[in-house]
Amino acid sequence: MTRMSMVQALNNALDLMMAENDKVFLLGEDIGRMGGDFGVTRGLFDKYGAERVRDTPLSEAAIIGTAVGAAMVGMRPVPEIMFADFLGTCYDQIVNNAAKMHYMFDGQFKAPIVIRTAAGGGFGGGPHHSQSVEGWFMNVPGLVIVGPATPHDAKGLLIASIENDNPILFLEHKALYRLKGEVPPEKYSVPLRRAAVVRPGSDVTVVAAMKMTHEALAAAEELTAEGISVEVVDLRTLRPWDQATVLESVAKTGRAIVANESPKMGGLAAEVSATIAEEVFAKLKAPVQRVCGLDTPIPFSVPLEKIILPGKDDIKTAVRAVMDY
Q: How many whole angstroms from its chain centre is CA 53?
A: 23
144-146 vs 168-173, strand pairing mode: parallel
- Do residues 279 and 241 lie in contact, with contact meaning Cβ atoms separated by under 8 Å? no
- Please name every residue paired with 80 in a beta bridge, in sequence order, or none if there are none: 28, 116
Q: Which amino acid is at 240?
A: P
Tell me if residue 129 is catalytic.
yes
- Do residues 192 and 161 lie in contact, with contact meaning Cβ atoms separated by under 8 Å? yes
C-alpha span between 325 and 18 (Å, rounded): 53
- Cβ burial, residue 296 (10 Å; 0-12/13-18/19+): exposed
- Please name every residue paired with 206 in a beta bridge, in sequence order, or none if there are none: 232, 257
C-alpha span between 282 and 254 (Å, rounded): 9
C-alpha span between 116 and 192 (Å, rounded): 15
- Do residues 315 and 259 lie in contact, with contact meaning Cβ atoms separated by under 8 Å? yes
- Please name every residue paired with 77 in a beta bridge, in sequence order, or none if there are none: 25
- Among 73, 32, 69, 35, smallest CA distance to 52 is for 32
Phi and psi dihedrals of 188, rounded to 5? Answer: -155, 165
**Which is the catalytic residue, given 102, 129, 152, 173?**
129
Going from the C-alpha of 246 to that of each of 39, 116, 262, 263, the distances in angstroms are 34, 26, 20, 21
C-alpha span between 137 and 317 (Å, rounded): 29
Residues serving a catalytic function are 129
